Amino acid sequence: MREIGLFCGTFNPIHMGHLLIAECSRDQFNLDKVLFVTSPEPPHRKIGLLPGEDRHKLVQAAVASNSNFEASRLELERPGPSYTVDTVKQVLAQEKNTRVNLIIGGDNLPFLKDWHNSDQLLSLCRLLVVPRLRYLSDVQAANANLNSNYSPDVVQTITQSQPTQSQQARQDLQHAGADLCIVDFPGIAISASNIRKRVSLGKTVLYMVPPEVAKIIQNRGFYKDNATVPK
């Protein structure tokens, strides 16, 4: 059986954190390939969001040098509302004798039950959950308590020492029979929102995004007027 990773997102823009998540997932779970599925434009996220075709070109540029990665247009080409369960079913229809491994952030777990046809979704794929670090709140708490600066490793330790909503959701899903695994991911503090802000301020984002992506962003003038945009 082939193992296919499915990584869906707006990728606004795709960055090194996305690529590292995909590579850690591929390596840990022996995935044959990872599909980066560019999501269309959600109606509630118009501000600061590049058109789908532009975001997809950035994804294509980012993954071109890795034969294990593939930029997918599945959701861009599908008419009507775009639901993850439909994307999973489409991949299963196209890739015979395959298991789909849906890569999601741990912060999505508490809301997974509200996704469209979530029960069917969970029955069709394995979840590969990427832990997320709560940098700001944990660093502030650590500094307040010990008056010092903390590295990401220490912040991760602090975060994992307390039960979180995501951890509870993970336990609930596992008890419900969901096939769920945790990705061993060395969390890095790179976010698309910070990249957009840096570009708007004229700061470099090279190596926060791949060189090919940085070049397109600069040449096309993407995010120049996005000093304050949604995540």
Per residue in 101-123, pLDDT tens?
Answer: 999 998 888 889 899 999 999 99
3-state secondary structure of 4: strand
| In the chain, where the domains are located | 2-133+165-220
Predicted confidence (pLDDT) per residue in 117-146, tens digit: 999 999 999 999 998 765 433 434 444 444
pTM: 0.82
Distance from C-alpha of 94 to C-alpha of 23, rounded to nearest angstrom: 23
Which helix (DSSP H) or strand (DSSP E) does residue 123 occupy? helix 118-124
Burial of 16: CB neighbours in 10 Å, binned 0-12, 13-18, 19+: middle
Q: How confident is the model at residue 27 (pLDDT cuts 50, 70, 90)?
A: very high
Cα–Cα–Cα angle for 57, 61, 66, rounded to 5 degrees: 135
Locate the DSSP E strands across the chain.
2-9, 33-38, 69-72, 98-105, 125-130, 180-182
Predicted confidence (pLDDT) per residue in 68-105, tens digit: 999 999 999 998 888 999 999 999 999 889 999 999 99
Q: How confident is the model at residue 167 (pLDDT cuts 50, 70, 90)?
A: confident
The CATH class, in words, for 2-133+165-220 is alpha beta
* Per-residue tokens: 91: 């991949």
* Per-residue tokens: 141: 């708490």
